[in-house]
Chain A
Amino acid sequence: SQTIHQWPATLVQPVGSPLSLECTVEGTSNPNLYWYRQAAGRGLQLLFYSVGIGQISSEVPQNLSASRPQDRQFILSSKKLLLSDSGFYLCAENLGQGSYGYTFGSGTRLTVV
């Protein structure tokens, strides 16, 4: 079975500061990886997804970027945070085949002050 590790669990950052959130996956090779943001405990907004190393697709143009330097590592970054970047960030993966859904990480609560 797959396990996703996300850290940190909570983060408070000032406006204009950089951001790096990391997600690593255990138990599978070549997963599809996803970054979601959830505002105010409601709907999920897909930010980025990756089907392989160095392959990133952006769903929403904004202040964030993503990278996949290794097969099981997915990083969400920003050079300068905005207040609107606050939210709950979730990493997810699936095996990209068959009837699998997603496995989610435990999330990072980001507050930009």
Chain B
Amino acid sequence: AQSVAQPEDQVNVAEGNPLTVKCTYSVSGNPYLFWYVQYPNRGLQFLLKYITGDNLVKGSYGFEAEFNKSQTSFHLKKPSALVSDSALYFCAVRVPGAGSYQLTFGKGTKLSVIP
């Protein structure tokens, strides 16, 4: 079975500082990894994904994530946080070739960027 862990319920960061939202995964096989963002009372929006190739993936709104196979991690990063980045962030994993193509989501991390 595949699983995703987001060890921090909440991350607080000052505006202009770098931010990191952590994600680790457990799968058998090579995973597809995703990050989504959710603003209040909205659906989830796709940020970026890792499929294969370069371990550093760049996505929307200046976010990037680094795939680390040895540490089974896929942490989300941004060099300089904005107040508008405050939202709920979800990491997700899928193993290619597995059944119904479901994503398994982490429980989410609330990011608060303090002005």
Q: A residues within 8 Å of B by Cβ? A: 4, 6, 32, 34, 41-44, 46, 49, 51, 57, 88, 90, 92, 94, 96-97, 99-107, 109
Contacts and interface: CB of A to CB of B under 8 A. Distances in A.
B36 to A, nearest CB: 8
Contacts of B105: 43-44
A90 B100 contact: no
Interface string B98-113: 0011110111100000
Contacts, number: 62
Given A42-B108, A99-B32, A94 B41 contact: no
A70 to B, nearest CB: 19
B101 A96 contact: yes
Interface size class of B (residues with CB under 8 A): 20 to 34
A94 B49 contact: no
B45 interface: yes
Contacts of B90: 44
Contacts of A42: 88, 107-108
A32 B101 contact: yes
A46 to B, nearest CB: 7
Contacts of A57: 100
List the 5 closest A-B pairs by CB distance, nearest first.
A104-B43, A43-B107, A99-B51, A104-B44, A101-B34
Contacts of A107: 41-43
Given A101-B34, A104-B43, A106-B42, A49 B108 contact: no
Given A46-B102, A96-B100, A102 B40 contact: no
Contacts of A41: 40, 88
Given A41-B88, A46-B102, A94-B101, A88 B34 contact: no
Given A57-B100, A106-B43, 16 more contacts: A32-B102, A34-B102, A42-B107, A42-B108, A49-B102, A88-B41, A90-B44, A92-B44, A99-B49, A99-B51, A99-B96, A100-B101, A102-B44, A105-B43, A107-B43, A109-B41
